[in-house]
Structure 1
Amino acid sequence: MFNRNLNKNKPNKKKPNTKPYRETFLGRIFQKILGSGIPIQKALNVVLLGYLCGIVLTVCWYKYFSGNHVNTTRWCSLIILGFIIIFLSYSKDVRCVSSLSIPILCSSKGRSLIIAVAFFIAATGPTVNLFRNIDVMVSSLSCGQMQLKHALGEMLDTLKKPLIAIKDAIHNAVNDLRKVLRKVQQVLQTIQALIVVILATMKNAFAWLRNIVRMCNKEFGTPYERCMKIAQNAIEDCQKKLGPMRALCQVTQLFAMLCYATKVVDVICVLVVFVNESIIGTVMEKLQQFTAEVKKLFDVSITFDHDFYFKTTTSRELDDIKRDIMSDIHNRMKTFVLIFGWLDVVSLFMFAVIIFKAIYFRLKYLHNPGYQNSYISKEFVEIDENRRNMNMETALPLTFMEKMKYPWLTDCRLTRQEWLALSRSGIFLAISSIQLFCICFADYSLFWILAMISYYGHKERGFTIPPYITVEIDGGGFVGEIFGGIVHAFEPISQNYTIDPHTCLPLPRRPSYAHYYLIASLILFGWIFLFCQPYGLRLRHIVMRLYYPEVARQRAIWLYNRILLKRISFFKLARRKARIAFTKNKTGDNFSFLDWLRAKTEGYCLFRLILGQRKTDKCLLCGSPLNKESLVKCETIGCNAMYCKNCFQESKNICCICHKPVDYGDFSDLSEVEDSSDDPNVIHFDETDDECLIRKWNEYID
């Protein structure tokens, strides 16, 4: 058989590749490891030792040479995860599950993990920044409304009291007049004080004279009285001395008449009293009257009688409105915030789901041969070749419908189930991508709007007072100050309104573009994994073939029999069973009617539950059902391979599962490493070439 295949392949003979091939450094290392025959346990021990040394060196470097803050929790988690991975790698089953977890990333669960991580990043980055910018926007609006409220409050006061402007102007003018009056009053008080001092001096002088006169009059009498007293004494003395001639003493009466001249002195004394009481008192009274007239001149009393009723009612303050807006936003986003807060837990859960899916696929692959078994593999082709060599019915070539339903494991064509799964996953991923895009777009749009408002707001000059005509008073003095105060009092009140919008401009927080790039990268990876989903899921079958080749062959046998059973009809199956029963030809497949019914109704869950699965043993090489007569079991401990007698004889009575291919003459599965030295000019030959196979066959015969 081997020579026949060689002759068949001679027309397509290829020359060996004699081009020198330069191996890489890592390639030479792996070749040396594989060629040295080091057990996997020992290699893992070396890896563990290197891992521990790396941890020690890293800790020392961070402690003594790096001044940066180290996230202890994160580093401890990574170290523990590394230990777990290394320790679990000692088990073949764990290595198989770890290898299966990588292709499962292309499935819906893997994309769910990626999308969960993307949403977690969106929750901790753009969403938090969006809430902060909303708070900045509401604060800016509240500040502007407060400024507008104060400005409108002054205008509202003017509207509520139409004469308030005139009233304020007149009050200002009156205040200016009072200031001028105080200055005039100070001058008049100074003049009054000087006049009072002069009058007081004169009054004191006349009072002194009056006191002197009063003292003289009190001691000696008035000049008239003293003169009359002297004249009376002279008459009495004359009458005493002349006696009978007292008539001559009447001449002295003339002297008494001269005493009337002294009345002038009495008039002078009375003048002193008159000047002191009448003149000075009148001057003081007139001065007081003048001061009172000047005071009345500047004394103004204005009375306003106006009735206007206007009432405004404010239910809530602007700060309360701001808090209500933010609380309403937080209440509406409470569900999303809760979900985003648990996204890290969800991510860990999805990671655990991926591990669980890998374990589930491994168990179903090992114990259920029909689980996702619809791909043509290498084992399937080998079974078909063996059956063709044994002149049995073959499944290849497939029909057109079978090619659509059972593609090759490495084929680019997709089945209908794969297309449906791809479309459903695409819809989910598109919705998630749109949601993430909307979150990032809303965050950046709000930042851009607030930044534009702040940028152009700082370029504005603010609110300016409209121009108006003013009157300037030249000159000084009391009158100038009076008119100046009146003019300034009637200037427009609007010049006192000050609104500075710069203090209320929003200062938004810049978004983290690194989060945008990371989210976009995760979405891109999600779409890449989506398009690679069918091929990634097929990769699981390749991984299981490498770890469990005997199970892969059993699954290929199951698929082979399934295709054959689906092809035959009931009458064809009945004829074959009759031919096997009444003839000596045992090369046909001994399928039962129950097997045929299972194959026809496998698409219905109820029939699968009722009919169950086929328990008949089959040959690993040709896939034909085995009975007690044709069954041959491998005698190697731990090997469960079963063959029919014909296939076991073709394999030289050697099990192809627990022995090397060279033992039973199959050189197509050999993979030798020749000359693993460091020679860069080493030459490798293609082992599948005909000349190489002939050389190996000759060496084997010798």
Structure 2
Amino acid sequence: RSAGGFVLGIALASLYGALVLLAQGHNVWYCLVTTASLGAGLGLGMAFSAKVRVTVLLSLPHIFTKEGKMLLLLLALGMAVQGPCTNILQNFSRAAESLSCGAELALNQTAERLQRAREPLLTVLAKIKDIAQKAKVVGDHVRKFFRSIMDSVSHVARALRNVWLWLANVGKVCNQELGTPYRRCLRLFSEAKDNCERAVPFLFFLCYIIITFKPLCGLANCAWVPAPLHTARPLVIPAALRAALDRVRREFEFNISAVHHFDISLNASKSLGEVALDIMEGVRLRLEPTRRVLGLFTHISFFAILYMYIQALRYRYRYLRDDTFDNVYITRRFVELDLRRAEQGKPTVLPLSGWESGRYIPPAAPWLSQQERRRYGLQLVGVLRHVLLGLSIVLADYSLFWLLDLIRHQLQGEIIARAPAVMGVSVNGTGYISEIFRDLVSAFDTLQQGNVSVLSQRCLLQPAEPDYSTYLSMGILYGICLFIAIFGSHVARLRRVVCAAYYPRREQVR
């Protein structure tokens, strides 16, 4: 039983909880559950089990090995993706929103300018339409007047024609009803003869004297009777009068056409802001799988501890069973044993040869063994490469924020463009035309009075400030990785010290 082991286990679990909660920003309940589980396992295990104590103590130096360094680098990369990279995308989104807001503002003001530019023309068209309506009313009245005159003249002409036809055909009617003068003359002589025979039947032969006068009736066919109505012509021909009135009527028929072509298309299925947001959403969706995969590295802290524990068990297992495993150190007990053999006159190992001194070293020697030197350069270059990558991400994040914040600072004001001088035009006079010109001039006054917002606070850029605590955590992790690359080999030698302290007999055998 060990109270110190229990305290150390609780301290390590608390350190893990602080790292997960403060550095990685995980959920409080996740931190609470994992920290409590880890604290219970480490505290009770180190308090009541020597095997757990030695394994945990072996896990601590194992952090400074190549595997621990890679886990820390992955953790730093995950923090870079969750922090600076996310902030970069957010700043790009805000910049796109600000630009789209400015573009929409410019588009709306352009549409307003176009509408104001159309107002004078629309006013003129309205006046022309008013004139046309009034002229149409006058023309309609004149056409109705002449139509009435033409209808009246046509009615009188029809009446005169009917009278004229009646006068022209009255003789024919009389001849049809009473007979012609020749036949009436013959009928009169015939009736006179018949009356004479009835009057003096005994002298009927005298009545035939009347028949001798019948040839005189032929004079009725040759007689000329003046007929002024038959030869007279009307003073004015109705068709000519109708044609003249129709020509006058057509003088009041007119068309007023005003052709106005002013086409501009400002319609779109989506606004500029929606287009910009769709583009940024597409970029975010494409980067989302990569961001999620890299974001998983922020959740491997618990599994990293488990991996370190397994590596410690593996080291302990090989230490207890393999005499050549990590056995390159000239310890103090080895030197005492070599001196004792020298006093006894037996063969000794020390001093080492040049090749052996590069392979076997004292545990506290500041120089590295041949195997450690072989790994030293590669690890240092790998760490520097990751540090350069993380530093580039941090610089990109902060540079973008600094640039956008500088733009925001410079564009804090509001600029409104107004007309430098307003021109006034007055129209004097009375009459309809003067009213038209006055309305036209007032429309141009409206055009001059418009303002244009060059810079508006509604579209002011608000960049997202970087999370400096993430920068600090990444710096600490990269600093630890650099320390591991430089001094990790020296710290890793403590694993042998721990095993030697807990297994002195095995150390003597090795």
TM-score normalised by the chain length of structure 1: 0.47
* Residue 368 of structure 1: how far off its partner (Å): 0.7
Aligned 1:200-349 pairs, distance under 5 A: 303-306=257-260, 317-349=271-303
Q: Provide the rounded CA distance (Å) in 2 between the counterparts of 1:166 and 1:71.
A: 67
Choose which of 515, 531, 538 in structure 1 pairs with 2:470. 515
- Name the residue aligned to 1:96: 54
- Name the residue aligned to 2:461: 506
SS at match of 1:490: helix
Change (3 A) 1:176 1:472: farther
Tell me which amino acid in the other structure corresponds to 2:73: I
- Name the residue aligned to 2:308: 354
Please tell me whether residue 75 in structure 1 is matched to residue 32 in structure 2. yes
Aligned 1:331-410 pairs, distance under 5 A: 331-410=285-364
Q: Is the 8 A contact 1:451 1:507 kept in 2?
A: yes
Please tell me whether residue 447 in structure 1 is matched to residue 395 in structure 2. no
Q: Provide the rounded CA distance (Å) in 2 between the counterparts of 1:431 and 1:346.
A: 22
Tell me which amino acid in the other structure corresponds to 2:64: C
Tell me which amino acid in the other structure corresponds to 1:505: L
SS at match of 2:398: helix
Change (3 A) 1:319 1:474: closer
Tell me which amino acid in the other structure corresponds to 1:389: E
Deviations 1:645-693 (A, max 9, x none): xxxxxxxxxxxxxxxxxxxxxxxxxxxxxxxxxxxxxxxxxxxxxxxxx
* Residue 409 of structure 1: how far off its partner (Å): 1.1
- Name the residue aligned to 1:125: 83
SS at match of 1:532: helix
Q: Provide the rounded CA distance (Å) in 2 between the counterparts of 1:157 and 1:410.
A: 87
Q: Is the 8 A contact 2:359 2:371 kept in 1?
A: no
* Residue 361 of structure 1: how far off its partner (Å): 1.0
Larger relative contact order (CA 8 Å, sep ≥ 6): 2
Q: Is the 8 A contact 2:34 2:302 kept in 1?
A: no
Change (3 A) 1:308 1:171: closer
Choose which of 364, 372, 381 in structure 2 pairs with 1:427. 381
Tell me which amino acid in the other structure corresponds to 1:490: F
* Residue 103 of structure 1: how far off its partner (Å): 0.9
Q: Provide the rounded CA distance (Å) in 2 between the counterparts of 1:92 and 1:335.
A: 45
Change (3 A) 1:358 1:447: same
Q: Is the 8 A contact 1:127 1:439 kept in 2?
A: yes
Choose which of 85, 96, 112 in structure 1 pairs with 2:70. 112
- Name the residue aligned to 1:669: none
Number of aligned residues: 370
* Residue 317 of structure 1: how far off its partner (Å): 4.6
Q: Provide the rounded CA distance (Å) in 2 between the counterparts of 1:360 and 1:478.
A: 110
- Name the residue aligned to 1:534: 489
Q: Provide the rounded CA distance (Å) in 2 between the counterparts of 1:121 and 1:165.
A: 59
Q: Provide the rounded CA distance (Å) in 2 between the counterparts of 1:494 and 1:415.
A: 87
Please tell me whether residue 136 in structure 1 is matched to residue 94 in structure 2. yes
Q: Provide the rounded CA distance (Å) in 1 between the counterparts of 2:408 and 2:297.
A: 35
Change (3 A) 1:470 1:120: same
Of stretches 305-314 and 450-459 in structure 1, the one that deviates more from structure 2 is 305-314
Q: Is the 8 A contact 1:106 1:536 kept in 2?
A: yes
Q: Is the 8 A contact 1:114 1:522 kept in 2?
A: yes
Deviations 1:47-90 (A, max 9, x none): 68x98xxx9xxxxxxxxxxxxxx945533433332221122112
* Residue 512 of structure 1: how far off its partner (Å): 1.8
Q: Is the 8 A contact 2:93 2:277 kept in 1?
A: no
* Residue 99 of structure 1: how far off its partner (Å): 0.9
Tell me which amino acid in the other structure corresponds to 1:471: G
SS at match of 1:391: coil
Q: Is the 8 A contact 1:116 1:346 kept in 2?
A: no
Q: Provide the rounded CA distance (Å) in 1 between the counterparts of 2:92 and 2:308.
A: 38
Change (3 A) 1:375 1:504: same
Change (3 A) 1:79 1:347: closer
Q: Provide the rounded CA distance (Å) in 2 between the counterparts of 1:481 and 1:372.
A: 108
Deviations 1:87-119 (A, max 9, x none): 211222211111111111111222233233333
Choose which of 459, 462, 470 in structure 1 pairs with 2:423. 470
Q: Provide the rounded CA distance (Å) in 2 between the counterparts of 1:372 and 1:302.
A: 108
Tell me which amino acid in the other structure corresponds to 2:474: I
Q: Is the 8 A contact 1:115 1:432 kept in 2?
A: yes
Aligned 1:642-653 pairs, distance under 5 A: none
SS at match of 1:121: helix
Deviations 1:436-493 (A, max 9, x none): 222222222222222222221113x424134244116499999998765432223473
Deviations 1:270-292 (A, max 9, x none): xxxxxxxxxxxxxxxxxxxxxxx
Q: Is the 8 A contact 1:120 1:343 kept in 2?
A: yes
Tell me which amino acid in the other structure corresponds to 2:97: S
Change (3 A) 1:311 1:321: closer
Tell me which amino acid in the other structure corresponds to 1:81: L
* Residue 316 of structure 1: how far off its partner (Å): 6.0
Change (3 A) 1:149 1:412: same
Identity of aligned residues (%): 25
Change (3 A) 1:116 1:306: same
Tell me which amino acid in the other structure corresponds to 1:502: Q
Q: Is the 8 A contact 1:172 1:489 kept in 2?
A: no
Tell me which amino acid in the other structure corresponds to 1:541: R
Deviations 1:545-576 (A, max 9, x none): 11111222222xxxxxxxxxxxxxxxxxxxxx
Change (3 A) 1:73 1:333: closer
Q: Provide the rounded CA distance (Å) in 2 between the counterparts of 1:367 and 1:477.
A: 121
Q: Is the 8 A contact 1:113 1:351 kept in 2?
A: no
Q: Provide the rounded CA distance (Å) in 1 between the counterparts of 2:263 and 2:429.
A: 43
Q: Provide the rounded CA distance (Å) in 2 between the counterparts of 1:335 and 1:355.
A: 31
Q: Provide the rounded CA distance (Å) in 2 between the counterparts of 1:420 and 1:477.
A: 106
- Name the residue aligned to 1:548: 503
Of stretches 96-105 and 348-357 in structure 1, the one that deviates more from structure 2 is 348-357
Change (3 A) 1:343 1:133: same
Change (3 A) 1:463 1:156: same
Structure 2: gaps of 5 or more residues: 15-26, 135-254
* Residue 128 of structure 1: how far off its partner (Å): 3.0
Aligned 1:135-214 pairs, distance under 5 A: 135-153=93-111, 164=118, 167-171=121-125
Structure 1: gaps of 5 or more residues: 1-39, 56-69, 182-300, 556-702
Q: Is the 8 A contact 2:119 2:443 kept in 1?
A: no
Q: Provide the rounded CA distance (Å) in 1 between the counterparts of 2:352 and 2:256.
A: 116
- Name the residue aligned to 1:415: 369
* Residue 389 of structure 1: how far off its partner (Å): 2.3
Q: Is the 8 A contact 1:101 1:358 kept in 2?
A: yes
Q: Is the 8 A contact 1:172 1:486 kept in 2?
A: no
- Name the residue aligned to 1:489: 443
- Name the residue aligned to 2:190: none
Q: Is the 8 A contact 2:79 2:295 kept in 1?
A: no
Tell me which amino acid in the other structure corresponds to 1:509: A
Q: Is the 8 A contact 1:122 1:439 kept in 2?
A: yes
